Amino acid sequence: MIQISISEVQMTVTNIAGITSLLAFWAFVLGNISKWKIKIYQGAEILILIGFICLTAGIIIRGFEADRFPLANLYESTLWFAWAILGGYLLLVRQFGQNQLGWLASLLSTMFFLYGSWLPGNQQTITPLVPALVSYWRQIHVPPLIISYALFCLSGLASLLQLWYAGRLRSLALAAITITLAIGAICLGTYTSIDTAWLQLLFVGSSLVGMFLSWKSLPKIAPARVNTQKAEIYDEISRKSISIALPLLTFGVITGGLWANHAWGTYWSWDPKESMALVTWLSYAAYIHLRIHHELSAERLSIVSIIGLILTLLTYLGFNSLGFGGLHSYGRFK
């Protein structure tokens, strides 16, 4: 009789979630060029739902296998991130009924499945917790942060679509290139031995130059591409995502201070990663302020949201992969 271990079950349902995310991406892409787009979109959303359910089961099973809350290393955080991306999309598509966000959301979740699966074995294997993580604060502090990061990324993706439907194609292209270079720097820092000083320069330099050029290119409009109604919808999706994520990030920063005081005897130590979390919080607080006071157009707010996405990537993964160090260095994987 064939016996299947709990580890194999967990890996199987997690792999199913990753495969369905990839299939959903190609289904959404196919839907854009097919005359049966409505049915294909419906099928893609079913795939995302299946992936979300399987990933939920995988995370729960991993918790039982590890006999602890299943969020203690980078691999597990990528599972939570992908889970929040899929769940956030399902929540938003039900409310707004827009499918173009689906191919970006499924692509991003697939990328994080691959990112996690390519991590070193010591990140994927269940091992005893390092002393800094042996605390009830871990399950209070970390999940809201990871979920907020995922929702911020969804907001940034929606902002890319807002620029598309607003006809700001040049600005969109520059923003997309900037995000790609930032992700490329993180991946190179994760899987190669390139000097981190060069990778820091690539991330920071490309982000500053790219987003500046994207901002300056906003006046250039392609009138044939403008769809005001859809641009407004994706602007609202971006706002909605941030309005949910910012309180979660706020809660995460506050509980992080409480945990730091419990573990290290100080609420705030200006550690690079916690300082970057504060910068990210300030960027989205600025977004909310500018939106409430109507000080920027929807297109410029989209650029602010995309800048926030880049800061989120730096906070979440950049400080591990780009060698900035700090008290959170137990999260490093090289």
Cα separation, 43 vs 24, in Å, equals 8
Among the candidates 128, 149, 181, a domain finishes at 128
Same domain for 152 and 107: no
Range of the domain at 86: 1-128
Q: What mean pLDDT comes out for the span 100-126?
A: 89
Cα separation, 83 vs 25, in Å, equals 15
pTM, rounded to two decimals: 0.93
Same domain for 68 and 9: yes
Q: Is the pLDDT of residue 332 over 60?
A: no
Same domain for 323 and 186: yes
Low-confidence winner among 24-38, 173-187, 236-250 (lowest mean pLDDT):
24-38
Cα separation, 180 vs 238, in Å, equals 20
Same domain for 98 and 165: no
Q: Cα 207 to chain center, whole Å?
A: 17
Q: What mean pLDDT comes out for the span 85-98?
A: 86
Is 159:283 a contact under the CB 8 Å cutoff? no
Q: What mean pLDDT comes out for the span 43-68?
A: 94
Residue-wise pLDDT tens digits, 236-262: 999 999 999 999 999 999 998 898 888
Percent of the chain scoring above 90 in pLDDT: 63
Q: Is the pLDDT of residue 92 over 90?
A: no
Among the candidates 102, 128, 154, a domain finishes at 128
Cα separation, 73 vs 199, in Å, equals 23
Same domain for 159 and 90: no
Among the candidates 128, 143, 168, a domain finishes at 128
Residue-wise pLDDT tens digits, 271-302: 888 889 999 999 999 999 999 988 889 999 99
Per-residue pLDDT band for 18 (boundaries 50, 70, 90) equals: very high
Same domain for 138 and 121: no
